[in-house]
Structure 1
Amino acid sequence: MADKQPTIETQTNPRGIPVAPFVDNVADYVSSRTEVESTLRSFQEMISKYQFMEVNTSRRAAGLREKIPDIKKTLEMVRFLKLRRDSTTPSSLETNFELNDTLYARAAVDPEDTEEVYLWLGANVMLAYPIGEAQGMLDEKLSAAQLSLANCDEDLEFLREQITTLEVATARVYNWDVVQRRKDNPDEMEK
């Protein structure tokens, strides 16, 4: 029967980002001075990976911060149309709607005849939804975007903590190595 290799479990945050190793006692962490260079290289590599994750998470958070107001604005308009449609005093309303970033058109909308709305899904795709379904979808989309933004903010804080932990660990290992070298060659340090 083959021996099973023990599995090493790495601690992670809720989205699977690994926790950086904390070096409490450098002498225990680095078993010999020959391991110092590889340990320092390993720490620098981990810092680079955390910084890469930080940049990507920041971009994702920025995109969400941009999308959330648009979703809220669209949801507000869908709710307004639904409210006007359900009201007992039907009246046409005149509005300007956006065709492009700087191009608007004037339209008269009769809320009573408005059964569906058209929503941009992205990638130049627009779809028609019944008003109630559009409101439900936008509510879900808004809550998902807000949750994702909260997760991004939490991950950014976590990543910054891990980078700081590794920077401190790097300094501790480096300083330990300097002290060991001084102990081994006290004559060289006096020159």
Structure 2
Amino acid sequence: MDSNPRGIPKAPFVEDVDEYMKGDTPDAALRKLSETASKYKFMENSKLQQRAALEHKIPEIEKTLAIVEHLCDNQGSSEPVKTLFEVNDTLYAHASIPPTDTVNLWLGANVMLEYKLDEAEKLLSGKLSSAKTSLKDAIDDLEFLRDQITTMEVNIARVYNWDVKQRRLAREASA
């Protein structure tokens, strides 16, 4: 079975409904198709959450990287760097940062590590690149999943219509 580069399987399109329905009841076939469509919708919701998290995370990484780059630019100076920093969503404070060659970075899970400025810049650049790649992949996966959901919905409609047609033909034959 075909799949996208990240392993999400491609939905099979039911070309010949008569052939597809051999050995299967309409209810069982519809249930199987609906279950597969539900799996794709679940994956879509997961990718939507991943995309939202990355869209929130990338600007934070970019801001942190910009600050580290600014500190790198002023590394040789003896003058302190004056800045405003965000304490909370709408609360900022003035700060005077003395010349330094290290910076502390939050890594998550209540962990903060001290890095040399060049190491911090390299780490943040790598994280930013990785996050942007992950965001692009998530967007590509969402597009792929929407196509697969549409294919499954078309399959469900075709099997349902086939069942309606078969019932009508059976009713006409008995009449």
Instruction: Tell me the TM-score normalized by structure 1.
Output: 0.85
Aligned residue number for residue 30 of structure 1: 21
**1:37-48 paired onto structure 2 within 5 Å:** 37-48=27-38
Q: Distance in 1 between matches of 2:83 and 2:114?
A: 20
TM-score norm. by structure 2 comes to 0.92
Q: Quote the residue 1:117 is aligned against.
A: 103
Identify the residue that residue 96 of structure 2 maps to in structure 1: 108
Sequence identity, in percent? 49
- Structure 1 distance, partners of 2:73, 2:131, is 25
How far off is 1:13 after superposition? 1.1
Match of 2:160 in 1: 174
Q: Larger C-alpha radius of gyration, 1 or 2?
A: 1
Give 1:11's aligned residue: 2
Question: Hey, what's the Cα distance between the residues in 2 that align with 1:144 and 1:119?
Answer: 17
Give 1:177 deviation, angstroms: 1.5
Residues 98-139 of structure 1 deviation map (CA, whole Å, 9 limit, x = unaligned) = 3344444332223xx301011111122211110000000000
User: 2 CA distance for matches of 1:138 and 1:14?
Assistant: 26
Aligned mates of 2:65, 2:117 — CA distance in 1? 10
Q: Which residue of 2 aligns with 1:93?
A: 81
Query: Counterpart amino acid of 2:74?
Result: R
CA RMSD of aligned residues (A): 1.8
Partner of 2:44: 54
Structure 2 residue identity aligned to 1:106: H
Give 2:67's aligned residue.
Answer: 77
2:37 aligns to what SS in structure 1? helix
Q: Supply the distance in 2 between the matched residues of 1:149 and 1:98 (Cα, whole angstroms).
A: 25
Residues in 2 aligned to 1:149 and 1:182: alpha-carbon distance in whole angstroms: 49
Q: Which amino acid aligns with 2:97?
A: V
Cα shift readout 1:12-46 (whole Å, capped 9, x = no counterpart):
111111111101111121115x5321111001101
In structure 1, what is the Cα distance between the partners aligned to 2:10 and 2:173? Answer: 41
SS of 1:147's partner is: helix
Distance 1:175 1:166 in 2: 14
Which runs of 5 or more residues in structure 1 are unaligned? 1-9
User: Gaps (5+ residues) in structure 2?
Assistant: none
